[in-house]
Chains A and B, each alone.
Chain A
Amino acid sequence: AQKVTQAQTEISVVEKEDVTLDCVYETRDTTYYLFWYKQPPSGELVFLIRRNSFDEQNEISGRYSWNFQKSTSSFNFTITASQVVDSAVYFCALRNSGGYQKVTFGTGTKLQVIP
């Protein structure tokens, strides 16, 4: 069975602070995909990043960065210099490879950025 844990239920930060959202996963597969999605108050799911299990390079995209560590089964997401528009619920998700497309989401972290 696969599992995704986002232990932080809610986080509040003051604008311009950095914030890291944690994601820990469990899977027996050797090949898998990890994702982060953003769900703003409007409700849609916005894709942020996909990471393949065989690619442990960290990634930076503007104010967003991701730290993938297979040794600790973690895929953490950092927002630098947070802005009010970053206020949303963020989900980490895990999908196995192959034909059986089972996707497991974490329970989400609600981020509130206070002006």
Chain B
Amino acid sequence: EAQVTQNPRYLITVTGKKLTVTCSQNMNHEYMSWYRQDPGLGLRQIYYSMNVEVTDKGDVPEGYKVSRKEKRNFPLILESPSPNQTSLYFCASSPPDLGTDTQYFGPGTRLTVL
């Protein structure tokens, strides 16, 4: 089954404690992205990756890091989380050409930073 998986699904942490949210896809997609969703703001793109070792900033990259060492994985790293990073996070993947396909989203990770 084609899918994007994220772990953990729920996480409560404290300010400053480094954390990683993993994302993995089994569709051999080149493109992967991270979004955060906040009330009244919709989804905002944090980082995206066009292929292995190729990443770039989205609209709200501050406080986040990503890496793309393998095609299937795209972890999101919060080196020093702060309460304003409390949010619902989505990972997504897609092939290069969206003419015949769409963006597949993971189930979301709800992060609370105390």
Contact = CB atoms under 8 A, between A and B. Distances in A.
Contact of B103 (A6, A102, A103): A103
Interface string B23-56: 0000000010101000011111100101000001
B42 A102 contact: no
- Determine the interface band of chain B, counting residues with CB < 8 A from chain A: 20 to 34
A37 B33 CA distance: 16
The binding surface of chain B is classed by DSSP as strand
A102 B44 CA distance: 10
A43 to B, nearest CB: 5
A108 B88 contact: no
Interface in A93-107: 93, 95, 99-107
Interface in A44-81: 44-45, 47, 50, 52
Given A50-B102, A103-B33, 5 more contacts: A35-B103, A101-B48, A102-B48, A105-B44, A108-B42
28 contacts: A6-B42, A33-B98, A35-B102, A35-B103, A44-B108, A45-B90, A45-B105, A47-B102, A47-B103, A47-B105, A52-B99, A91-B42, A91-B43, A95-B103, A100-B50, A101-B31, A101-B33, A101-B48, A101-B50, A102-B45, A103-B45, A104-B59, A105-B35, A105-B42, A105-B43, A105-B44, A107-B42, A108-B42
